[in-house]
Amino acid sequence: MSRGPLVGTMLVIALTVAGTPPAATAPAPPGHHAELVVEMLRRRTVAFTSGDEAGWLTDVDPRHPETISYERSRFRQLRQTGPSFFRLFPAGEHTDRAHADRAHADREVYVRQVVGWPGRAKTALNTHTWCLTFRDGRVMITAVRAYLGPGV
């Protein structure tokens, strides 16, 4: 019996297996990214309400210092106003890729921010567009900008 075909078959199998990406790099199941975003918004809400600036910045991609600076400033300015209520929640996904591509992000999402102050009957509702990237099972913020309207 010749070993040539057997060795050739084993080589093809070995190359096929070696070229297969590991399970860890497989695409996330549908809804997984949405769950990561909701969890990140919950963490950031807790960090804000407890005055934890480092916690607020934990999910900002360190490769984007301009976003770290923007979010640090936003955190400090909002905290100075003395809010009694603060919450972040998802408000849908943005479909225009232009800004996400400039921010090297996987996707853009709209994030609603609700802030209330003691003694005031009304709350402020603002919407921001966040550029997000997903890696190593985490969501990272690469850019944040105020939502100015559709197509802006």
32-41 LR contacts (CB < 8 Å, sep 24+): 33/106, 33/107, 33/134, 33/139, 34/90, 36/134, 36/137, 36/138, 36/139, 37/90, 37/109, 37/132, 37/139, 38/90, 40/139, 40/141, 41/88, 41/89, 41/90, 41/111
Residue 56 near residue 75 (C-beta atoms within 8 A): yes
Q: How far apart are CA 152 and CA 82, in angstroms?
A: 31
| Confidence (pLDDT) at 107 | 82
CATH architecture of 28-146: Roll (3.10)
| Confidence (pLDDT) at 98 | 62
| Confidence (pLDDT) at 96 | 59
| Confidence (pLDDT) at 21 | 35
| Confidence (pLDDT) at 19 | 37
| Confidence (pLDDT) at 79 | 97
Amino acid at 54: A
pLDDT values of the chain reduced to their tens digit, one per residue, 152 residues: 555 443 333 333 333 333 333 333 344 444 678 899 999 999 999 999 999 999 999 999 999 999 999 999 999 999 999 999 999 999 887 655 665 566 566 788 889 999 999 999 889 999 998 989 888 888 999 999 887 766 54
